[in-house]
A and B are shown apart, each in its own frame.
Chain A
Amino acid sequence: MSKTVLMKGNEALAESAIRAGCTHYFGYPITPQNEIPAYMAKEMPGRGGCFLQAESEVAAINMVFGASGSGARTMTSTSSPGMSLKQEGLSYLAGAELPCVVVNMMRGGPGLGGIAGSQADYFQATRGGGNGDYRSIVLAPGNVQELADLTVDAFELADKYRMVVTILGDGYLGQMSEPVILPEPEKKASVKPWAVSGAKGREPNKVMSLRLSPEDYLEKHNIHLQELYRKVESCETRAEQYMTDDAQYIIVSYGTSSRIARKAVKKLREEGVKVGLFRPITLWPYPMKELHELSKKVKKVLTVEMSAGQMLEDVNIAVNGAAEVDFLGKMGGAVPESGEIMKIIKSYG
């Protein structure tokens, strides 16, 4: 029986990754996620894994590319400016269909920005900052327990679809300590016949993203990728609904900001206001249908996020005119307050 332990988000993530079978970690220091490489550096050597501090974010993601292409469960972690540097590698991973887990504990930007938590990399995570038509699965944990659990899911999803899975947290989530029951995933051998390992007794394997004949090859590959992405959209979309059954108003929020939104919902319910929370857990694929169906039953939708309004675009696409969409955003490391959210919801009545 697993017992509850008190752990920092970043450390719970690192431990869960090792338990999920991650054997190769490559990273570069950046605040506010430094507990992840520190934990890996301490734990990996004694548990049969490999920790390597890369010379740059670019090198780290390309080491991940090599390890993934060699069949290992591998990951890297970073924070916003570092994620920008990894975009080239992410595009190549997508092109070569290599699975891996990438963690972005977001901080405020643009540029060097600040070190406090933020949600301003939503566009980068869900739209892709690298070149080409590709997608990454994006998971958005809301507390330390979910961060631990989704880390295991991230490795499973990455291998299942041969895709990059991004865990999109933020500085607050990475730094906060909460009780957590660490996952004990089943140890499954992951067979990867496409990986490079030395062509012993078989035809050589090629791991690459170059497809030079556009009319019959690169286009075909892209069609294949899009079919894969449609499958992920239909099978892996996740969201939590909290007190939405009879709701007249809903708040849409994810990650750290959803914690505050949940508090506001609880307090408003105590006052008799019929409000609920819709919390996307996968940001790509976004729970479009679920949010659309829900929005048809409510008077107003309030989007709350720690950005100038990035997820807001997906909310608008999902709601598609079925209800009025309002927005509360905080930037540069600022967080919304529950009182502020309550005031806005009350103003609707």
Chain B
Amino acid sequence: MMDENLIYTKPDSLREKKTHYCPGCGHGIVHKLIGEVMDELDIREKTIVIAPVGCSVLIYDYLNCDGIEAAHGRAPAVATGVKRVHPESIVISYQGDGDLLAIGTGETIHAANRGENITVIFINNAIYGMTGGQMAPTTMPDQITKTTPYGRDVDNTGYPIRACEMINTLVAPVYIERTSIHDVKNIRKTKKAIKKALTNQKEGKGYSFVEVLSTCPTNWGVNPVTAAKWVETAMVPYYPLGVFREEKEKV
């Protein structure tokens, strides 16, 4: 009988749960990265995740920590309420593009502007997933969605919003980075960014924002491989990757 050599395990911060996400969806990857970082920073028992409205509303079924579900777009406000009651906890506001940049723009800007000591993880996949593929504030010009059947007409619906750049105009945030999960190298960078953001919070430094360019093969109408390529070729040029802010702006 051969000895088994266990070289890969699921982090304790993830639950045993069959995924409801579609093949090729980026949420599962990012959930796993968060779970790994929670293990590495030993914060599982003090983490409270704010679930948004969108495909990731069930994030509390995957992360093995306390969870509270916000109304659409209100996650940063709910996170604010939670953090003000439990300042020692680690609060993660996990949000999609419709949640964070359309219906919840006000909450996004003001939580960042107050420098709430929370971590916002923003999944930008350029489309509304749960409702079946409508235009998001981050939908690319000419991108076809259910509500832009002839392609997004920027003269009519405006241009995709760059969240990192917008938040980077504020004084209070301590860390702003945009990453992607379209290949292994970038997945590793994403994990590093999430770790940095959660470490900041653990150390009480303040508001951190990580935007992750992600995939939605189902609603984009492509296979997972093509979806990853589309992130690289269509999204990355418009949404440049990298660190926008590493410490609070001095005024």
A interface residues, Cβ below 8 angstroms from B: 23-24, 26, 50, 52, 54-56, 58-60, 62-72, 74, 88-89, 92, 96, 196-201, 204-210
Contact = CB atoms under 8 A, between A and B. Distances in A.
A92 B71 contact: yes
Interface in B28-56: 44-48, 50-51
Contacts of A24: 81, 84-85
Contact of B69 (A56, A68, A207): A207
B71 A66 contact: no
A62 B107 contact: yes
B65 A209 contact: no
A200 B45 CA distance: 5
A158 B57 CA distance: 27
A66 B57 contact: no
B67 A206 contact: yes
A54 B77 contact: yes
A58 B71 CA distance: 10
Given A200-B46, A206-B60, A64 B106 contact: no
Contact of A67 (B47, B64, B84): B84
Contacts of A96: 69
Given A59-B110, A65-B81, A70-B68, 20 more contacts: A24-B85, A54-B110, A58-B77, A59-B107, A65-B70, A65-B78, A66-B68, A66-B84, A69-B81, A70-B48, A88-B71, A196-B66, A196-B68, A196-B86, A197-B89, A198-B46, A198-B48, A200-B46, A208-B60, A208-B67
The 9 closest A-B pairs by CB, nearest first: A66-B81, A208-B69, A62-B77, A70-B85, A198-B46, A66-B78, A67-B81, A55-B110, A196-B66
Interface string B175-213: 000000000000000000000000000000000000000
Given A62-B74, A198-B45, A198-B47, A68 B81 contact: yes
B65 A198 contact: yes
A132 B80 CA distance: 26
Interface residues of B, number: 35
Contacts of B81: 24, 26, 62-70, 74
A67 B82 contact: yes
B199 to A, nearest CB: 17
28 contacts: A24-B81, A50-B84, A52-B84, A55-B109, A58-B106, A59-B106, A59-B110, A62-B81, A63-B78, A63-B80, A63-B84, A65-B81, A66-B50, A66-B84, A67-B84, A68-B81, A69-B78, A70-B81, A70-B86, A196-B82, A198-B46, A198-B65, A198-B89, A198-B90, A199-B45, A199-B65, A205-B67, A208-B51
A204 B65 contact: yes
A199 B38 CA distance: 13
A64 to B, nearest CB: 6
Nearest to A91: B71
Interface core residue of B50, B70, B85 (most chain A CB under 10 Å)? B85
B79 interface: yes
A191 B22 CA distance: 40
Given A197-B89, A198-B65, A198-B66, A66 B46 contact: no
B21 to A, nearest CB: 15
Interface string B61-104: 00011111111001001111111111001100000000000000
Contacts of A59: 74, 77, 80, 106-107, 110
Given A55-B110, A58-B74, A199 B66 contact: yes
A71 B82 CA distance: 9
Contacts of A62: 70-71, 74, 77-78, 81, 107
A196 B48 contact: yes
B96 to A, nearest CB: 15
Contacts of B90: 198
Contacts of A54: 77, 110
Given A70-B81, A71-B85, A197-B86, A65 B74 contact: yes
B119 to A, nearest CB: 15
A70 B50 CA distance: 12
A67 B82 CA distance: 5
A206 B51 CA distance: 10
A28 to B, nearest CB: 11
